[in-house]
Chains A and B, each alone.
Chain A
Amino acid sequence: MRWSEVECTDVRELRGPLAVVGGVTGVGWDEFVRITLGSGERRHGLVLEVDRDLAVLQVLEGTAGIDPTAVRVAFASSPLRIPVGPGWLGRVCNGRGEPIDGGPPVFGAAEAEVGGTPINPVRRVPPSEPVLTGVGAIDVLTTLVRGQKLPIFSAAGLPHLELAVQIAAQSTAGGEEFSVVFAGMGLTHADASFVRGALAERSAAGELVLLLNTADDPVIERLLTPRLALTVAEHLAFDGGRHVLVVMTDMTAYAEALREVSAARGEIPARRAYPGYLYSDLASLYERCGRIRDRSGSVTVLPVLTMPAGDITHPVPDLTGYITEGQIVLTREAHARGVYPPVDALSSLSRLMRKGAGPGRTREDHLDVAAQLLAALARARQVRELADLIGRPALSPTDLRYLELDEAFQLGFLAQRPDENRPLDASLALAWEVLRTLPRGQLAMIPSELLDRHGVA
Chain B
Amino acid sequence: MGAVTPYRILRVAGPLVELACSGDIAMHDVVLLGDAELPGEVVAIGGGVATVQAYEYTGGLAPGHPARPRGGPLRAALGPWLLGGVFDGLLRPLAGAGDRLVPGGGSRADGRTWRFVPSVEPGARTDEGGVLGTVTTQAVPFRVLAPPGCSGPVERIAPEGRYPADAVLAVVGGTEVRMAAEWPVRTPRPVRARIDAVEPLHTGQRVIDLLFPVALGSTVAVPGGFGTGKTVLLQQIAKWCHADVIIYVGCGERGNEMADVIAELAELDDPRTGGRLADRTVVVANTSNMPMMAREASVHTGVTVAEFFRDMGLDVVVIADSTSRWAEALREFASRMGELPAEEGYPARLASELAAFYERAGAVRTLSGAPGTVTVLGAVSPPGGDLAEPVTAHTERFVRCLWTLDRELAYARHYPAISWAGSFSRDAAALSTARARSGDPSWARHREQVAALLTEADRLADLVELVGLTALPDQERISVLAGRLVREGVLQQSALSARDAYCAPEKTAALVEAVLAVAARCRQLVESGTPADAVEVVDFTPLLRAREETGPRSAAGVAARRDAVLQALAPGGRP
Contact = CB atoms under 8 A, between A and B. Distances in A.
Nearest to B97: A120
A319 B335 CA distance: 20
A121 B262 contact: yes
Interface stretch (B124-132, B381-389, B550-558): B381-389
Contact of B259 (A53, A79, A124): A124
A119 interface: yes
B411 A346 contact: yes
Interface string A30-53: 110000000000000000111111
Interface string A50-65: 1111000000000000
Contact of B11 (A30, A49, A115, A124): A49
**Which of B10, B86, B259, B385 has most chain A Cβ within 10 Å?**
B259
B98 A120 contact: yes
A270 B345 contact: yes
A25 B64 contact: yes
Interface string A442-456: 000000000000000
A29 B12 contact: yes
B118 to A, nearest CB: 34
B288 interface: yes
Contacts of B292: 277, 280
Contacts of B289: 118-119, 280, 283-284, 287-288
Interface in A48-105: 48-53, 77-79
A269 B332 CA distance: 10
Interface residues of B, number: 61
B256 A325 contact: yes
A147 B259 CA distance: 12
A126 B331 contact: no
B480 to A, nearest CB: 15
Interface string A120-156: 1111111100000000000000000001100000000
Interface in B53-106: 57-64, 86, 94-95, 97-102
B62 A50 contact: yes
Contact of A122 (B18, B227, B262): B262
B227 A351 contact: yes
Interface string B315-344: 000000000010010011001000001001
A18 B357 CA distance: 39
B307 to A, nearest CB: 24
Contact of B226 (A147, A280, A321, A374): A321
A319 B332 CA distance: 16
A271 interface: yes
A374 B345 CA distance: 40
Interface in B222-246: 225-227
A148 B256 contact: yes
Contact of B13 (A49, A284, A326): A49
Interface in A147-182: 147-148
Contacts of A226: none
B255 A347 contact: no
B255 A28 contact: no
B258 interface: yes
Contacts of A121: 86, 94, 250, 255, 258-259, 262, 285, 287
A267 B336 CA distance: 8
Given A120-B99, A290-B255, A322-B381, A29 B58 contact: yes
Interface string B400-438: 000000000001110000000000000000000000000
A336 interface: no
Nearest to A270: B345
Interface string B9-23: 011111000100000
Contact of B328 (A49, A279, A390): A279
Nearest to A349: B227
Nearest to A285: B289
A283 B335 contact: no
Interface in B449-477: 465, 468
A318 B383 contact: yes
B263 interface: yes
Contacts of B64: 25-26
Interface size, A (range): 35 or more
Contacts of A27: 62-63
A106 interface: no
Interface in A248-300: 267-271, 276-277, 279-280, 283-284, 287-288, 290, 292-293, 295
A315 to B, nearest CB: 7
Contact of A271 (B102, B259, B383, B468): B383
B252 interface: yes
B336 to A, nearest CB: 8
A323 B254 contact: yes
B496 interface: yes
Nearest to A113: B59
A267 to B, nearest CB: 6
Nearest to B93: A122
**Which of A280, A295, A326, A346 has most chain B Cβ within 10 Å?**
A280
A389 to B, nearest CB: 8
A313 B384 contact: yes
A276 B11 contact: no
A279 B383 CA distance: 10
B13 A323 contact: no
Interface in A333-375: 346-347, 349, 351-352, 354, 374-375
B112 to A, nearest CB: 17
Given A276-B335, A287-B289, A325-B256, A117 B100 contact: yes
A268 B335 contact: yes
Given A49-B14, A126-B260, A378-B413, 12 more contacts: A28-B59, A52-B11, A120-B98, A120-B100, A122-B86, A122-B94, A124-B255, A268-B341, A268-B345, A277-B292, A284-B289, A287-B288
Interface of A: 25-31, 48-53, 77-79, 115, 117-127, 147-148, 238, 267-271, 276-277, 279-280, 283-284, 287-288, 290, 292-293, 295, 313-315, 318-319, 321-323, 325-327, 346-347, 349, 351-352, 354, 374-375, 378, 389-390
Q: Which 3 A-B pairs have the closest CB atoms?
A: A283-B288, A313-B384, A124-B259
26 contacts: A25-B63, A28-B60, A28-B62, A29-B60, A31-B60, A50-B11, A51-B10, A51-B13, A51-B63, A118-B101, A120-B99, A122-B259, A124-B256, A126-B260, A238-B99, A270-B344, A279-B325, A279-B328, A280-B252, A287-B255, A292-B99, A313-B384, A318-B384, A318-B385, A351-B227, A390-B468
Interface of B: 10-14, 18, 57-64, 86, 94-95, 97-102, 225-227, 250, 252, 254-256, 258-260, 262-263, 285, 287-290, 292, 325, 328, 331-332, 335, 341, 344-345, 381, 383-386, 411-413, 465, 468, 496
